[in-house]
Amino acid sequence: MSWNCKVYKFAMSSPDDMSQFENLLNEGEIKAEHVVCIIAKTEGNGRVNDFSRPLAHRAFRRVICDHAKKSVDEVEGSVAFVMSGGCEGIMSPHATVFVREPSDRVNNDGAKKLTFATANTRKLLPEEIGTLTQVDLVATGVKQAICDAEIESIDDVHYVQVKCPILTSERINEARSRGQEPVTVDTLRSLGYSNGASALGIAVGLREIDADIKASEICSNEKLYTDRGGASAGIELMNLQIFVMGNSKTSASHLVIGHHRLDDLIDADGVRQAIRSVGIDVEGSVKAKDQNRIINVFAKGQVPLDGLLRGRRTTLLTDSDLNTRPARAVLSSVIASIVGDPAIYVSAGWGYHQGPTGGGIAAVIAKA
Amino acid sequence: MSWNCKVYKFAMSSPDDMSQFENLLNEGEIKAEHVVCIIAKTEGNGRVNDFSRPLAHRAFRRVICDHAKKSVDEVEGSVAFVMSGGCEGIMSPHATVFVREPSDRVNNDGAKKLTFATANTRKLLPEEIGTLTQVDLVATGVKQAICDAEIESIDDVHYVQVKCPILTSERINEARSRGQEPVTVDTLRSLGYSNGASALGIAVGLREIDADIKASEICSNEKLYTDRGGASAGIELMNLQIFVMGNSKTSASHLVIGHHRLDDLIDADGVRQAIRSVGIDVEGSVKAKDQNRIINVFAKGQVPLDGLLRGRRTTLLTDSDLNTRPARAVLSSVIASIVGDPAIYVSAGWGYHQGPTGGGIAAVIAKA
Amino acid sequence: MSWNCKVYKFAMSSPDDMSQFENLLNEGEIKAEHVVCIIAKTEGNGRVNDFSRPLAHRAFRRVICDHAKKSVDEVEGSVAFVMSGGCEGIMSPHATVFVREPSDRVNNDGAKKLTFATANTRKLLPEEIGTLTQVDLVATGVKQAICDAEIESIDDVHYVQVKCPILTSERINEARSRGQEPVTVDTLRSLGYSNGASALGIAVGLREIDADIKASEICSNEKLYTDRGGASAGIELMNLQIFVMGNSKTSASHLVIGHHRLDDLIDADGVRQAIRSVGIDVEGSVKAKDQNRIINVFAKGQVPLDGLLRGRRTTLLTDSDLNTRPARAVLSSVIASIVGDPAIYVSAGWGYHQGPTGGGIAAVIAKA
Amino acid sequence: MSWNCKVYKFAMSSPDDMSQFENLLNEGEIKAEHVVCIIAKTEGNGRVNDFSRPLAHRAFRRVICDHAKKSVDEVEGSVAFVMSGGCEGIMSPHATVFVREPSDRVNNDGAKKLTFATANTRKLLPEEIGTLTQVDLVATGVKQAICDAEIESIDDVHYVQVKCPILTSERINEARSRGQEPVTVDTLRSLGYSNGASALGIAVGLREIDADIKASEICSNEKLYTDRGGASAGIELMNLQIFVMGNSKTSASHLVIGHHRLDDLIDADGVRQAIRSVGIDVEGSVKAKDQNRIINVFAKGQVPLDGLLRGRRTTLLTDSDLNTRPARAVLSSVIASIVGDPAIYVSAGWGYHQGPTGGGIAAVIAKA
């Protein structure tokens, strides 16, 4: 008996709309105990005070608890909940559920197919957020998940998603009460540091860069980056949750994953390369007949740190009302205009180490 | 002697950065008295309290006053200043200057080339904003400008830009003190009504729709729209300024204009059609060698009134922090990813009558 | 045996922080089955996409379900959850729990003491939100709750809190699919209509105004208002929840409630009058020794509809980024500066019928 | 002949509304060449992209140029323009004009009366913003202005206003192109650093603290602060403009100034102390008969750096949409509720060294 890796995407009418997830469970399409990861785009501001994330998190967890008849702690230990806030523009709130179930199917065409696995770390202390400790924990988790997913070659990893914690006033005060100083006292900026450290952890775990990083290089040395992963920081957890996706000959899945680097936030050609990497032809936008082969796109984008895009000034760093929120609208619009579906996963903002500076990553899961 | 219609685009480092405009004047490339219209994208919020617009307006006006040695009133009477706020996402703040100068050049290849002209109306009363009175005034202005631009066939008009006023608390109070009631007491919503009435005026002026519109159809009857124009409402004026662009055999310009309807905010194929309409080949994104043929793209987009895009729910109508501001990031990102330049003109928001509902318009000015 | 009405206020470190509520239950200070109402100020934007409200709602409900061993539906039927979003400025996120428990205590000093009761209505259809139907349902509920609370004279009612639904894109689309038109298509504006209809319902229920209101007077006739109640609209319910507070000789509570009208958003003297109405002396700010007598202040404020405060122009109606959110910061700061505690309940925004136009209401619960 | 120091306050219907200023000039009440400082509250976001400030600045400057028949450079050299953005809540946009004119009046009652003077420094380099260089330049300017204002004792200085520059993406890039690193790459955070350095400069200039500050103490050592001044940073200048106000026996003004420290953002008693310091009795709010004695209040407030106010958690540091903007609504509402006028000057935000941490300063100018 082998494993079948299945992926379901469904729309959500609010962060706690579980109707389509309940349908999948009630119809027997999936079993709650086989869910290993849920990656949702929820419609909060994607920042410190984004309560759409814990709301969706609680709702998904409760459904799994009830269906699998497990406690909250048991479910937290076996499922990675990646709730990513921010559906600016036309990005449509939705969730992607990753299911790994025992199967009689055999991968008999010899081609590598989709596989995935998760790894969870211990809780971080507030003063560890955004530090080398976080880098190390992520790197170790990545390696462990690659092993669990039975991915033979590191080149077959195409996307690593990390969920990581941020600082709040309370967490900063708590650290200081113990005489410890966090990397920043700006709660909003702590998102960037946490995401940056996670990304370096991915790059180390995938051997894209050397492991001997200096603390001062976190969110500073632009040359260090992964082009196969992204992080999404949030208030609702204090540990690190790692989810690795790749292709493997041992997988009996009907699906396959590929990726491509994005050179900037409007790199439409990079998006098309990612689509072609899973065997779908595309010149301008994906043809109508091929659109339903694409299950989802997972993309990470970073605001250019000098504020310039193709030599032109943008307002991404100087609009104090919106801050970098429109970056998610930018990248998701470019991708949606190509794949023809606004229900895609895009995380973007002030960031480092997730693709080249000012750029990012796009991974595509499609029917093989 | 004939007329030469020239168009210059330049970046602005702030709404009052006149350095590149001054350069053009000081180098003799253009003469201040030949400027007929300036369309700028400034980096305010594009809403009621957008002060980037009056700031840019005052700065441009002062430069022309000083160079042309004219009074403020004289310049206001001869130049249409269209300051459009909102550079969300990667849209880059810039200005496009339209110059109409006497020329010895002759249009000797017989092809139609770019021409344009402006028309200004009287000031509106606050209670006239968003009404049939505004529709009529715009329609009349459009016809007059077509005539002045020597555009023979109405089919040769490709873009009409209207600048129109909005309501403020003061204007509403003033109307009410005279016993008059404006169309809305929501200052923000008044932008939509003013833009909607202007758009219907364009459609009537271009004979796209019948002239016998009912007041109740303004911002309500989705079937009525122009696909060759857009409006940009702002606090800094009370009259209507109309700017008509098209092609004419009598023009000796090096440039040409075309347009295409956009079916929704991510209609990349519609954008490509607009580009092809001026003779530039494009499959995915415009090839590097052709990019500099495009002077600018002028686009108008409208938020889908049911909140849905391709059947998927968006947050464009329910995000009370951002409101519809990300719509500009959406459309500009799609266009920039195709033309390879983020310095493009995109106006978008809650809107009616400027393209099909939820869609819009893209016009392209390019070297012939 | 009589009833004892108790009120507890505690801080929340996040919308789902139940630690202090759990403490009260675990220490036996209160029993979950005696909780009749929870009024919380949560830290979302207080608008359409405020997910702090459903998050807090779910968390409180779960705790009561677990402690009282009741189902979600049973708890929803017996407890009014009023989650009010918006802690702008210095207003501190907190909850007030209202407990009604059987008691051997006797009200033997003859003075009227705090009592309260709730009433829930059926669910509204989207097209009923903001209409006379809502007014009637609230009025009936108010009368029923007065009766249940054993308040003899209508003059002894000092604050009525109503929680009511708002429109969303989905709800509007659903109504339209049945050929029905809601009062507005502006989801944000629907908050004002729903609050307005609820407030008129309170005024009718308390016989402050006649019952023969016209539909056109909702959010339009400024002369109609209650000065003893407020409404808080949110996305998380479709029915109306009414909570009436007053004083009664049959109550054995240690507490008492009073109220006063606020003439505008900075009416410090009105706030002081409300404080004096429960027997606490105050000239400038409440003296340190008296501060802990005040359990909480419940206030409702309305943005002046002409944008003017004491003849001066404000930006409350013209700031398109903040909209009316700062109104909550205004009124809560004035009250906090007087009572010396930022953990107070203030709801404010574009509103009608809750106090005089541009003004509001303050009710004070204090130790007798 | 002596000097008469006069102060005029007037409302502005927009940042470029000069009507009341023109009235004062046209009626001969003041002469343009006697204006030494204009302090305006304009209605932008008070942050990096606040264009209400340069708009007001340009408009005031133009009026003075035209009336005094001076060039832009001459006017910039002789008038301090302090345009402070942010009228959140009920703070009403307005300007205060400070006029110093030759006069036959004699200060014959021996009491100290209002006097003031300005000092301007050289332009800063981007990398000097927020550094000890800025501290020194401000301190020197303060001493020079005290001398020019003929203030005998340093104790008679009651308010020092400094206008200082911020960083932008362009300025950061420019510094880096020369191999220099600014104190922060966060343009928004640079407001705090610039204000902090200016405040320390005031404290040094007024000998409130020792001059041997370390660079690391800027925006870090909470014990160092002035309680008689505030800074307002903005994009529209690169030099430092210092305006010192105090009382002097040599002044023939009808006015007098006083101040008091604010211990936190709702310190109503501190505000009342400031009012009493100019001889006006107040218990709760200022009596109607005394309200018109107060010309204006100038206040500076700082967000508590641990997010707590009187032990309660606030959202001032964790609301990523509003950031610290509501802090201005908080302090202005408290002050307006006491003085009965929303047209007051309040600047507040993430700040250091302007009053005790989490607190601030209030100065009052009143008729003697």
pLDDT band at B298 (very low <50, low <70, confident <90, very high): very high
Of A322, A330, A341, the CB nearest to B310: A341
Chain C nearest-CA distance from D310, in A, is 7
Burial class (CB in 10 A: 0-12, 13-18, 19+), B73: exposed
Other CB atoms within a 10 A radius of the CB of residue C97 amount to 23
| CA distance linking residue B16 with residue B152, whole number of Å | 38
Does B51 sit within 8 Å of D44, measured CB to CB? Answer: yes
Identify the DSSP state of A354.
Answer: B
Q: Rg of chain D's alpha carbons, rounded to an integer?
A: 19
Select from B242, B238, B240, B241 the least CA-distant residue to B127.
Answer: B238
Active site residues of D: 163, 232
Check if C309 contacts B (Cβ < 8 Å).
no
Of chain C residues 124-163, which have a CB less than 8 A from chain D? none
Catalytic residue, from A163, A190, A194, A300: name it.
Answer: A163
**Cβ-contact C198, C134 below 8 angstroms:** yes
CATH of the domain at B243: 3.30.1330.180
Q: How far is CA C87 from CA B13, C12, D316, D342, in A?
A: 36, 12, 9, 22
Select from D144, B263, B279 the least CA-distant residue to B271.
Answer: B263
Q: Using a CB-CB distance cutoff of 8 angstroms, which residues of chain D are in contact with residue B15?
A: 51, 54
Other CB atoms within a 10 A radius of the CB of residue B238 amount to 16
Chain B nearest-CA distance from D45, in A, is 10
**Cβ-contact C335, C364 below 8 angstroms:** no
**Cβ-contact D332, D347 below 8 angstroms:** no
Of D88, D93, D338, the CB nearest to C326: D88
Q: Number of folded domains in chain A? A: 3
pLDDT reading at B278 higher than 90: yes
Q: Using a CB-CB distance cutoff of 8 angstroms, which residues of chain C are in contact with residue D329?
A: 88-89, 326, 329-330, 333
Check if C318 contacts B (Cβ < 8 Å).
yes
Task: Looking at the structure, tell me whether residues A152 and A240 fall in a common domain.
Answer: yes
The percentage of residues in chain B with a pLDDT greater than 70, rounded to a whole number, is 100
Helix, strand, coil shares of chain C, percent, nearest 5, are 30, 30, 40
Please tell me whether the interface predicted TM-score (ipTM) of this complex is above 0.90: yes
DSSP alpha helix (H) spans, B30-164: 52-68, 72-78, 132-148
Please, what is the average pLDDT of chain B? 95
Chain B nearest-CA distance from D310, in A, is 29
3-state class of B108 per DSSP?
coil
Chain C nearest-CA distance from B165, in A, is 15
Q: Using a CB-CB distance cutoff of 8 angstroms, which residues of chain B are in contact with residue D234?
A: none
Check if A335 contacts B (Cβ < 8 Å).
no
Does A58 sit within 8 Å of C16, measured CB to CB? Answer: yes
Select from D184, D158, D154, D179 the least CA-distant residue to D169.
Answer: D184
| CA distance linking residue C42 with residue C55, whole number of Å | 9
Q: Using a CB-CB distance cutoff of 8 angstroms, which residues of chain A are in contact with residue B268?
A: 284-285, 337-338
Q: How far is CA C338 from CA C226, C365, D2, D45, in A?
A: 24, 15, 44, 28
Of C49, C54, C321, the CB nearest to A43: C49
Helix, strand, coil shares of chain D, percent, nearest 5, are 30, 30, 40
Q: Which of C189, C191, C312, C321 to mutate to test the interface with B (most CBs of B within 10 A)?
A: C321
| CA distance linking residue A238 with residue A247, whole number of Å | 30
pLDDT in tens, A311-321: 999 999 999 89
Task: Looking at the structure, tell me whether residues A163 and A238 fall in a common domain.
Answer: yes
Other CB atoms within a 10 A radius of the CB of residue C179 amount to 7
The pair of three-digit structure tokens given for residue A318, joined into one six-digit string? 């100087």
DSSP alpha helix (H) spans, B99-152: 132-148
Check if A44 contacts C (Cβ < 8 Å).
yes
Q: Using a CB-CB distance cutoff of 8 angstroms, which residues of chain A are in contact with residue B360?
A: none
Contacts for A305 with CB less than 8 Å, ≥ 6 apart: A222, A317, A352, A357, A358, D185
Closest residue in C to B350 (Cα) is C186
Contacts for B134 with CB less than 8 Å, ≥ 6 apart: B124, B128, B164, B194, B197, B198, B201, B240
| CA distance linking residue B240 with residue B243, whole number of Å | 10
Chain C nearest-CA distance from D44, in A, is 9
Identify the DSSP state of B304.
Answer: -
**Cβ-contact C55, A55 below 8 angstroms:** yes
Task: Looking at the structure, tell me whether residues B111 and B235 fall in a common domain.
Answer: yes
| CA distance linking residue D193 with residue D354, whole number of Å | 12
Task: Looking at the structure, tell me whether residues D117 and D245 fall in a common domain.
Answer: yes
Of A44, A235, A321, the CB nearest to C321: A321
pLDDT band at A105 (very low <50, low <70, confident <90, very high): confident
Catalytic residue, from C163, C198, C277, C347: name it.
Answer: C163
Q: Using a CB-CB distance cutoff of 8 angstroms, which residues of chain C are in contact with residue A13?
A: 170
Task: Looking at the structure, tell me whether residues B230 and B163 fall in a common domain.
Answer: yes
| CA distance linking residue D22 with residue D30, whole number of Å | 10
**Cβ-contact C51, A54 below 8 angstroms:** no
Burial class (CB in 10 A: 0-12, 13-18, 19+), C71: exposed
**Cβ-contact B355, B231 below 8 angstroms:** no
3-state class of C260 per DSSP?
strand
CATH of the domain at B276: 3.30.1330.160
Identify the DSSP state of D317.
Answer: T
Task: Looking at the structure, tell me whether residues B331 and B228 fall in a common domain.
Answer: no
pLDDT in tens, A248-268: 999 999 999 999 999 999 999
Q: How far is C-alpha C146 from the geometric centre of its chain's CA atoms?
A: 16
Q: Last residue of some domain: C213, C235, C253?
A: C253
> 0.80 cut: is pTM over it?
yes
Element (H, E) at D191: helix D187-205
Closest residue in C to A15 (Cα) is C51
Residue type for position D243: F
Chain A nearest-CA distance from D321, in A, is 7
The pair of three-digit structure tokens given for residue A184, joined into one six-digit string? 């920043």
Check if C287 contacts D (Cβ < 8 Å).
no
pLDDT reading at A305 higher than 80: yes
| CA distance linking residue C294 with residue A137, whole number of Å | 49
| CA distance linking residue C235 with residue D251, whole number of Å | 61
Q: Last residue of some domain: D61, D89, D105?
A: D105
Place of tokens 């990102």: B333
Of D11, D329, D337, the CB nearest to C329: D329
Owning domain of residue B212: 106-253
Strand partners, D7: D98
| CA distance linking residue C361 with residue C89, whole number of Å | 19
Of B13, B42, B58, the CB nearest to D170: B13
| CA distance linking residue D166 with residue D192, whole number of Å | 9
Task: Looking at the structure, tell me whether residues B264 and B243 fall in a common domain.
Answer: no
Chain B nearest-CA distance from A285, in A, is 7
Other CB atoms within a 10 A radius of the CB of residue B214 amount to 9
Of A13, A55, A321, the CB nearest to C55: A55
Chain D nearest-CA distance from B18, in A, is 14
Select from B71, B76, B85 the least CA-distant residue to B41.
Answer: B85
pLDDT in tens, D210-269: 999 999 999 999 999 999 999 988 887 899 999 999 999 999 999 999 999 999 999 999
**Cβ-contact A132, A79 below 8 angstroms:** no
Task: Looking at the structure, tell me whether residues B28 and B76 fall in a common domain.
Answer: yes
Q: What is the pLDDT of residue A1?
A: 58
Q: Which of B330, B331, B335, B344 to mutate to test the interface with A (most CBs of A within 10 A)?
A: B330
The pair of three-digit structure tokens given for residue D51, joined into one six-digit string? 């264009």
Positive or negative: CA dihedral A208, A211, A212, A217: positive
Of C168, C306, C323, the CB nearest to B318: C168
Q: What is the pLDDT of residue B236?
A: 78
Q: Which residues of chain D carry a pLDDT beneath 50? A: none
Catalytic residue, from C190, C194, C198, C232: name it.
Answer: C232
Check if C257 contacts B (Cβ < 8 Å).
no
Q: Using a CB-CB distance cutoff of 8 angstroms, which residues of chain C are in contact with residue D319?
A: 43, 88
Q: What is the pLDDT of residue C1?
A: 58
**Does the residue B350 lie in any domain?**
no
Check if A318 contacts D (Cβ < 8 Å).
yes
Strand partners, C2: C103
pLDDT in tens, A1-57: 578 999 999 999 999 999 999 999 999 999 999 999 999 999 999 988 999 999 999
Task: Looking at the structure, tell me whether residues B266 and B203 fall in a common domain.
Answer: no
Q: Which of D14, D52, D87, D88 to mutate to test the interface with C (most CBs of C within 10 A)?
A: D88
Chain B nearest-CA distance from C307, in A, is 6
| CA distance linking residue D112 with residue D246, whole number of Å | 9
Q: Last residue of some domain: A77, A105, A133?
A: A105
3-state class of D56 per DSSP?
helix
HSE on the CB side for B235, CA within 13 Å? 30
Check if A341 contacts B (Cβ < 8 Å).
yes
Does B16 sit within 8 Å of D235, measured CB to CB? Answer: no
Task: Looking at the structure, tell me whether residues A271 and A235 fall in a common domain.
Answer: no
**Cβ-contact B194, B283 below 8 angstroms:** no
Of C47, C185, C319, the CB nearest to B320: C47
pLDDT in tens, B236-260: 789 999 999 999 999 999 999 999 9
Q: At what angle do helices A52-68 and A19-26 cross, to 10 degrees?
A: 20
Chains that touch A (3 or more CB pairs under 8 A): B, C, D
Identify the DSSP state of B127.
Answer: G
Check if B65 contacts D (Cβ < 8 Å).
no
Q: Which of C14, C42, C48, C51 to mutate to test the interface with A (most CBs of A within 10 A)?
A: C51
Residue type for position A322: L
Place of tokens 């022309």: B64
Q: What is chain C's pLDDT, residue by residue, as a tens digit (368 residues)?
A: 578 999 999 999 999 999 999 999 999 999 999 999 999 999 999 988 999 999 999 999 999 999 999 999 999 989 999 999 999 999 999 999 999 999 888 877 889 999 999 999 999 999 999 999 999 999 999 999 999 999 999 999 999 999 999 998 889 999 999 999 999 988 888 989 999 999 999 999 999 999 999 999 999 999 999 999 999 888 878 999 999 999 999 999 999 999 999 999 999 999 999 999 999 999 999 999 999 999 999 999 999 988 999 999 999 999 989 999 999 999 999 999 999 999 999 999 988 999 999 999 999 999 99
Task: Looking at the structure, tell me whether residues B295 and B249 fall in a common domain.
Answer: no
Size of interface B-D (CB pairs under 8 A): 40
CATH of the domain at D31: 3.30.1330.170
Element (H, E) at A326: helix A326-339
Show contacts of B207-211: CB within 8 Å, 24+ apart: B207/B154, B211/B139
Chains that touch B (3 or more CB pairs under 8 A): A, C, D
| CA distance linking residue A58 with residue A76, whole number of Å | 10
Task: Looking at the structure, tell me whether residues C123 and C155 fall in a common domain.
Answer: yes
Does A285 sit within 8 Å of B91, measured CB to CB? Answer: no
Residue A152 — φ and ψ, nearest 5°? -75, -50
**Catalytic status, residue B69:** no
Does D54 sit within 8 Å of B54, measured CB to CB? Answer: no
The pair of three-digit structure tokens given for residue D321, joined into one six-digit string? 């949409």
Select from C158, C366, C161 the least CA-distant residue to C248.
Answer: C158
